[in-house]
Structure 1
Amino acid sequence: MTRTLLRLSVFVILAILVFVTLSPIGLRPVVASANVERMSAYALFGFLLILAYPKRWYLGLVTGMAVAGILEFGQELSPTRHARMSDFLVKAVAAAFGSLVAYLALAAYARFERPSASR
């Protein structure tokens, strides 16, 4: 059940990322500065990807960064948006950071969980 909820949350976050990245700029909600929003959203996306698919963590890492690139490039198709390499780098690094944090958390959990399982 937990894994299903995590996987569902990955797709919900992805849908939100698609909307806020590709919709007209006037429809994009503003919560904080643009870079803080980008970093937070993509770090959460990377984190959830790894938690949802822990056995394929390397694909989660690549997926988070690829989504950042594809969506940033997709802004070139919108007349009210613009793609920037600096925006892509912020998003990709944040996705990688979120993935790394999740990977380390899972590794720490596995390390602490093993000794109690042998009792």
Structure 2
Amino acid sequence: MTRTLLRLSVFVILATLVFVTLSPIGLRPMVAPANVERMCAYALFGFLLILAYPRRWYLGLMAGMAVAGILEFGQEFSPTRHARTADFVVKAAAAAFGSLAAYLVLAAYARFERPSATR
């Protein structure tokens, strides 16, 4: 159940990223400075991606960064948007940070949840 909810949340976040990144600029909500929004959104995406698919964490890491690149490039086809290398770097780095943070959380959890041989 928990894994299913995590996987659903990954796709909800992905759909939100697609909408916010590729929609006309007038439809884009603003709650914080653009780079802060980018970092938070992609870090959350990377974090949830690894929690949802922990056995293939390295693919999740690459997928988070690839999504950042594909969506940034997709802005080239929108008349009100523009693709920037700097934006991609912020998004990809945040996705990688979120992914690695989730990996470390999972590794720590696995270390402390191992059954003790002395019981």
What is the deviation of 1:117? 8.4
Counterpart in the other structure of 1:9: 9
- 1:115 match: secondary structure: coil
1:21 aligned counterpart, secondary structure: helix
Tell me the equivalent position of 1:100: 100
TM-score, length basis structure 2: 0.97
Q: Normalization by structure 1: what TM-score? A: 0.97
One-letter amino acid of the structure 2 residue matched with residue 32 of structure 1: A
Alpha carbons of structure 1 residues 69 and 117: separation in structure 2 relative to 1, 3 Å: farther
**Cα displacement string for residues 13-41 of structure 1 (whole angstroms, at most 9, x for unaligned residues):** 00000000000000000000000000000
Unaligned 5+ segments in structure 1 are none
When the two chains are superposed, the root-mean-square deviation of aligned CA atoms in Å is: 1.2
Q: Percent identity?
A: 87
Distance 1:97 1:118, change over 3 A: farther
Matched length: 119
Displacement of 1:118 in angstroms is 7.2
Match of 2:25 in 1: 25
The verdict on how the C-alpha distance between 1:82 and 1:117 changes in structure 2, with shifts beyond 3 A counting, is farther
Whole-Å separation in 1 of the counterparts to 2:5 and 2:23: 26
Compared with structure 1, are the counterparts of its residues 112 and 80 closer, same or farther at alpha carbon in structure 2 (3 Å cutoff)?
Answer: same
1: CA distance between counterparts of 2:31 and 2:103?
A: 28
AA matched with 1:48: L
Distance 2:17 2:117 in 1: 39
Structure 2 equivalent of residue 91 of structure 1: 91
Deviations 1:42-94 (A, max 9, x none): 00000000000000000000000000000000000000000000000000000
SS in 2 for 1:79: coil
Task: Tell me the CA shift for residue 116 of structure 1.
Answer: 5.0
Is 2:46 the counterpart of 1:46? Answer: yes
